[in-house]
Amino acid sequence: MADPSTTMITSPDNEKLKQIRKLRGRRERDRSGLFAAEGEDLIAAAEAAGAGARFVLVAGTDVEPALLDAVSALGSGSRAIGVYEQRWSAPPGADSPPALSVYLDAVADPGNVGAVVRAAHALCDGPVILGPGCADPYSPKAVRASMGSVFGRPPARVGGPEEIAAAKLALDPLAEATVGEVELGPPVVVCIGAEREGLTPELRASAAATARIPVRPDGPESLNAAMAAGVALYELGHRMAGRA
């Protein structure tokens, strides 16, 4: 997987370095279908998931460290950067859907999107399904926040919640039922609205049920979007496992 060249890159005009730099922008990621993953942990996660790299540059071996730092999206100290093809899971369909997935609607913070990709990989059998207005899960911050789970459980994407063939449970801080009380059999998709605006009328209308995560009366109105997704997946996954 490593760069087969035995010559150390010493010029910032090197094509691979230029490609990594361009992949910091969404336009180039969308155009090429590629993305960059930074750090030895992520490159190991890619290998573990069988995701072949277009190339990997290791500082001090393949490239002068300062040149790799200069194209890093995450600040200095990157010891390795790999370029990979974006992979996308199919959204849950009628044919043997996963028991539990999560749908994000206009969740715009890449750290939140990456954190949910990680949580879904740990807590449920289905992918994170990204609706309109979500941050790119292949942006540097989202890939980093996923801690490699974009490789292990690639996200899915849809044009809207109506494309998902499963019972939708929309999280709503004002719902009457809690996530521990609501009764929905698998397949279930937990639906999360935008960080500030919450659920859209469309998402609300297409949901089979709404539920809240119980929070303290002296606390904030709600959890952060990623934390809410993780807690809901934990609760529902736990109960599904108990039923099985």
Can you give the binding site for its own copies, defined by CB under 8 A?
A: 111, 115, 118-119, 121-125, 145, 147-149, 152-153, 180, 213-216, 218-220, 222-224, 226-227, 230-231, 234-235, 238, 241
**Which residue lies nearer to its own copies by CB, 54 or 239?**
239
CB 116, CB 130: distance < 8 Å: no
**Contact assessment for residue 121 and residue 89, using Cβ atoms and an 8 Å cutoff:** no
Supply the minimum distance, in Å, between the C-beta of residue 42 and its own copies: 12
For its own copies, the closer of residues 16 and 153 by Cβ is 153
The strand pairing partners of 55, in sequence order, are: 83
Question: How far apart are CB 4 and its own copies at their closest, in Å?
Answer: 30
CB 187 within 8 A of CB 99: yes
Residues 6+ apart with CB under 8 A from 60: 79
Nearer to its own copies, 194 or 223 (CB): 223
Instruction: State the nearest-atom distance from the C-beta of 147 to its own copies, in Å.
Output: 7
Give yes or no for a contact between 169 and 189, defined as CB atoms under 8 angstroms apart: yes
Q: Is 38 helix (H, G, I), strand (E, B) or coil?
A: strand
The minimum distance between CB 180 and its own copies, in angstroms, equals: 7
- Residue 109 φ/ψ region, left for φ over 0, alpha for ψ in the -120 to 50 degree band, beta for the rest: beta
CB nearer to its own copies: give 165 or 241. Answer: 241
Task: Give residue 172's identity as a one-letter amino acid code.
Answer: D
CB of residue 10 to its own copies, shortest distance in Å? 32
* DSSP secondary structure, 127-159, as one string: -EEE-TTPPPTTSHHHHHHTTTHHHHS--EE-S
Q: Judged by CB, which is closer to its own copies: 54, or 87? A: 87
| Closer CB to its own copies, 16 or 121, in the complex | 121
Q: Least distance (Å) from its own copies to the CB of residue 33? A: 25
Cα–Cα–Cα angle for 188, 108, 149, nearest 5°? 60
